């Protein structure tokens, strides 16, 4: 059996499981649709949160980013896990005690203000739409790479699956499919990682293996070898960081706080029965996330070592089969600048922009649709070679995608990686779509426009909103806006600068009032939005450290917006009337998980 | 629950939070960001990154890893898990001590 048949079989089986679960877990009420009836066990919720959180970017992208940035990649590892400490300690238990359906619910009630609720809804919708477009794109890419399906059809298939369990099952359906998806994605990530760790270092645990000595060179540790190889080729040492300290601080903080402010993550904690369960599921969630997040940097180091040890200096004729396969897919490209037939790899970008103005290889085809090839039989490109001596382009996604082939693993493992990538993308997409449909049906229609809507009417509205959201997400998946990568920074920055401070202050202080919260949210939102949009969209050429405010990059600016939000909210609240007594009583009640036993 | 008990319970909770969040901040930012080069036994200079023989961690390896690198890519994540674990244990104990009986919270619109 070849890879493709294996992929059809494994993806087919996993999809049948998801659909089976969806049919078994149909939502019958709005409570089931929004928060799975509030009866999910902490373990199941931890698994679902982990799948919800880990997207196509975590599964395919994370190891790749670290592989190319070495120690500087730590910001993502710490940033995307440290937020769970904030969630489990500062937010989840209290928001659970509050006992409503959504984050805007809390903001609207705590700040006794329809305006605050609407601003929160807008933030939630914006963050979720930003995020979901990337997920649908991820689904399309996995389909097209592994099953040779057109990206459009890949996205449509992904939409059909998500449609099935998100629209029918709501949160109840999503929760149990996410549990299954976590199992699929973690298995798919672990199998190749363990194999490669064994091959390189004889240690079956990748987390330990990447500090161990190489099998081929006793006494030489893998990381020392990697540092040496990197320096030989003119790269910085893998284990040294180049990023400025202050900027690293701001980015790490923005990612942590942003994680804790993401509505689709927070809402997962509304699905467990008790406050103590909310704390526990925070623990489970981080344990399950940590399994992948501690393995990813090991995979990065293994892949980088393999790559640097085998490819640079080799002639094109001797490169392994996987190199040629991914070259045909445009994920690896080689331009023989010095005409010596050997692959030279070093710092710098190997070639200029393609016809769309992007730094991606553009393959050339002849009239019969065959790839055009050069003297060494390598794939040739539309892009003009750049002036530096680097001849090699490697796409970041390759690190996880090609890992099984680089390690020479059996075909079913490759198929498993495809199913894992799909599980990661679909689970995150579903969680986001649910936030969107809840925001529209519950926060906008029920709480703002038509409070008299019946339970049935609201459930229908929620399903219709989910349908609408799936269609919009699919559209963006098929016609991705150029800025998908740039908007991720925006989503985190906005979550950090808008939600986080007013949630924390709303829980831990009784005196913070609606004037403070509205002013704080608006200032945090607008300052962060302006800064990121200016450097990422309007004046991209100016996006350099010397132009940044206090040396903070757009990725880290959410931290600054958050601090501003805190200051403004507290100051404005000091000079305006206290919140009504009943609101202060509500805050007081959040602090105790229950009543004393009689 | 008596008001005095409530106040005491909340104060205890805040104390736990303060201690645990200080650890969180120390590990992620003090060790993982500000002193990471020192823990790796290197320093940033005008001529790039050089070995720093003055660092007491110079030449130190933890299972093959330089300390700062390990904290950033592994250690911090383990500490985060531990922090939440300790919080869960502490709070469950506190709930017990104050005899707090948790009922299922009724999620509702009203």
A332-366: per-residue pLDDT in tens?
888 888 888 888 898 888 888 877 777 788 888 88
β partners of residue A342: A315
* Residue among A205, A214, A240 with most chain B CBs within 10 A, to mutate: A240
A398-451: per-residue pLDDT in tens?
888 888 887 788 888 888 888 898 888 888 888 888 888 888 888 888 888 888
Q: Is B100 in contact with A88 (Cβ distance < 8 A)?
A: no
- Residue A579 and residue A513 in contact, taking contact as beta carbons nearer than 8 Å: yes
Contacts of A587 (CB under 8 A, 6+ apart): A110, A506, A507, A509, A510
Q: Is B107 in contact with A31 (Cβ distance < 8 A)?
A: yes
Give me the domains of chain A, ranges plus CATH numbers: 3-306+410-479 (1.20.1730.10), 482-593 (no CATH)
Shortest CA distance from B6: residue in chain A: A592
Q: Is A211 in contact with B34 (Cβ distance < 8 A)?
A: no
Measure the CA–CA gap between A499 and A124, rounded to whole angstroms.
Answer: 9
Q: Which residues of chain B are within 8 Å of residue A66 when distances are taken between CB atoms? A: 73
Q: Is B78 in contact with A290 (Cβ distance < 8 A)?
A: yes
Measure the CA–CA gap between A446 and A493, rounded to whole angstroms.
Answer: 29
Q: Is A596 in contact with B63 (Cβ distance < 8 A)?
A: no
Please report the ipTM that was assigned to this predicted complex: 0.93
pLDDT at B19: 97
Q: Where are the beta strands (DSSP E) in A466-557?
A: none
**Is A486's pLDDT higher than 70?**
no
Question: CA angle at residue A295 from A292 to A296, to 5 degrees?
Answer: 85
Any idea what DSSP says for residue A384? P
Q: Is B77 in contact with A294 (Cβ distance < 8 A)?
A: yes
Q: How many angstroms separate the Cα of A160 from the Cα of each of A175, A226, A438, A450, A537?
A: 18, 44, 20, 30, 33
Q: How many angstroms separate the Cα of A482 from the Cα of each of A203, A356, A479, A485?
A: 42, 10, 9, 8
Residue in A449, A580, A572, A448 with CA at minimum distance from that of residue A521: A572
Average pLDDT over residues A23-43: 84
**Is A537's pLDDT higher than 80?**
no
β partners of residue A595: B101
CB pairs under 8 A between A and B: 183
pLDDT at A487: 67
Mean pLDDT rounded to a whole number for chain A = 87
* Residue among B48, B52, B59, B64 with most chain A CBs within 10 A, to mutate: B64
Residue in A50, A38, A592 with CA at minimum distance from that of residue A272: A38
Average pLDDT over residues A74-89: 93
Measure the CA–CA gap between A109 and A102, rounded to whole angstroms.
Answer: 11
Q: Which residues of chain B are within 8 Å of residue A290 when distances are taken between CB atoms? A: 77-78, 80-81
Q: Which of A130-134, A271-275, A534-538, B101-105 has the highest mean pLDDT?
A: A271-275
- How many helices and strands, by DSSP H and E, does chain B display? 4, 3
Residue A207 pLDDT grade (very low, low, confident, very high; cuts 50, 70, 90): very high
B55-68: per-residue pLDDT in tens?
888 888 888 889 99
B34-81: per-residue pLDDT in tens?
998 888 888 888 878 888 888 888 888 888 889 999 999 999 999 999
Any idea what DSSP says for residue A39? -
Residue in A46, A11, A76 with CA at minimum distance from that of residue A414: A11
Instruction: Tell me how close the Cα of A369 comes to any Cα of chain B, in angstroms.
Output: 45
- Residue A379 and residue A43 in contact, taking contact as beta carbons nearer than 8 Å: no
- When CB atoms are compared, the residue of A82, A211, A239 closest to B24 is A82
Instruction: Tell me how close the Cα of B60 comes to any Cα of chain A, in angstroms.
Output: 13
- When CB atoms are compared, the residue of A211, A276, A594 closest to B65 is A211
Instruction: Tell me how close the Cα of A276 comes to any Cα of chain B, in angstroms.
Output: 7
Instruction: Tell me how close the Cα of B53 comes to any Cα of chain A, in angstroms.
Output: 16
């Amino acid at each position: 059996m070849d890879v493709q048949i294996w992929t059809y079989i494994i993806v087919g089986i996993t999809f049948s499981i998801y659909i089976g679960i969806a049919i078994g877990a149909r939502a019958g009420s709005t409570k089931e649709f929004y928060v799975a009836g509030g009866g999910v066990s902490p373990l199941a919720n931890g698994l679902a949160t982990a799948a919800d959180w880990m997207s196509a970017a975590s599964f395919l992208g994370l190891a790749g980013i670290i592989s190319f940035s070495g120690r500087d990649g730590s910001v993502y590892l710490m940033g995307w896990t440290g937020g769970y400490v904030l969630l489990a300690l500062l937010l989840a238990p209290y928001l659970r005690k509050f006992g409503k359906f959504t984050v805007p619910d809390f903001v609207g009630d705590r700040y006794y203000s329809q305006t605050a609720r609407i601003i929160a809804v807008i933030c939630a919708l914006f963050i979720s739409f930003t995020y979901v477009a990337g997920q649908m794109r991820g689904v399309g890419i996995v389909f097209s790479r592994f099953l040779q399906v057109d990206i459009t059809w890949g996205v449509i298939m992904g939409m059909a699956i998500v449609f099935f369990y998100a629209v029918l099952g709501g949160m109840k359906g999503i929760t149990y499919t996410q549990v299954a998806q976590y199992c699929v994605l973690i298995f798919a990530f672990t199998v190749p990682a363990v194999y490669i760790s064994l091959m390189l270092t004889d240690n079956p645990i990748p987390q330990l293996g990447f500090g161990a000595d190489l099998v081929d060179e006793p006494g030489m540790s893998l990381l020392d070898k990697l540092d040496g190889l990197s320096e030989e080729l003119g790269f910085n040492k893998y284990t040294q960081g180049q990023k400025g300290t202050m900027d690293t601080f701001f980015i790490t903080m923005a990612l942590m706080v942003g994680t804790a402010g993401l509505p689709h993550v927070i809402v997962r904690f509304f699905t467990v029965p008790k406050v103590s369960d909310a704390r526990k599921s925070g623990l489970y969630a981080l344990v399950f996330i940590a399994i992948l997040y501690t393995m990813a940097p090991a995979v990065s180091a293994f892949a980088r070592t393999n790559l640097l040890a085998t490819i640079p200096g080799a002639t094109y004729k001797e490169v392994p089969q996987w190199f040629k396969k991914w070259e045909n897919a445009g994920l690896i490209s080689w331009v023989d600048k010095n005409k010596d037939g050997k692959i030279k790899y070093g710092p710098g970008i190997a070639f200029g922009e393609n016809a769309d103005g992007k730094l991606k290889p553009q393959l050339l085809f002849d009239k019969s649709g065959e790839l055009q090839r050069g003297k060494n039989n390598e794939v040739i490109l539309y892009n003009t070679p750049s002036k530096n001596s680097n001849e090699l382009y490697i796409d970041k996604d390759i690190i996880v995608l090609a890992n099984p082939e680089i390690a020479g693993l059996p075909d079913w493992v490759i198929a498993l990686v495809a199913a894992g990538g799909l599980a990661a993308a679909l689970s995150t997409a579903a969680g986001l779509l649910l936030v969107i449909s809840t925001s529209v049906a519950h926060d906008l229609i029920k709480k703002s426009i038509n409070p008299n809507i019946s339970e049935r009417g609201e459930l229908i509205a929620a399903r219709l909103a989910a349908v609408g959201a799936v269609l919009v997400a699919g559209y963006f998946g098929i016609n991705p806006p150029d800025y998908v990568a740039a908007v991720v920074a925006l989503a985190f920055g906005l979550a950090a600068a808008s939600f986080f401070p007013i949630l924390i202050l709303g829980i831990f202080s009784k005196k913070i009032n609606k004037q403070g919260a509205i002013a704080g949210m608006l200032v945090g939102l607008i300052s962060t939005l302006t800064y990121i949009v200016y450097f990422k969209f309007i004046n991209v050429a100016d996006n350099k450290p010397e132009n940044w405010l206090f040396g903070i990059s757009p990725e880290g600016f959410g931290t600054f917006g958050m601090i501003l939000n805190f200051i403004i909210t507290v100051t404005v609240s000091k000079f305006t009337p206290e919140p009504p007594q009943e609101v202060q009583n509500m805050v007081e009640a959040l602090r105790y998980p229950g009543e004393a036993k009689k | 629950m008596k008001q005095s008990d409530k106040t005491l319970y909340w104060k205890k909770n805040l104390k736990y939070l303060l201690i645990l969040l200080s650890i969180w901040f120390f590990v992620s930012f003090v060790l993982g960001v500000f002193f990471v080069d020192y823990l790796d036994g290197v320093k940033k200079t005008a001529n790039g990154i050089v070995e720093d023989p003055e660092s007491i961690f110079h030449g130190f390896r933890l299972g093959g890893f330089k300390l700062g690198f390990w904290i950033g890519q592994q250690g911090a994540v383990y500490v985060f898990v531990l922090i939440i674990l300790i919080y869960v244990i502490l709070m469950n104990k506190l709930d017990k001590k104050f005899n707090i009986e948790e009922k299922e919270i009724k999620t509702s619109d009203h």
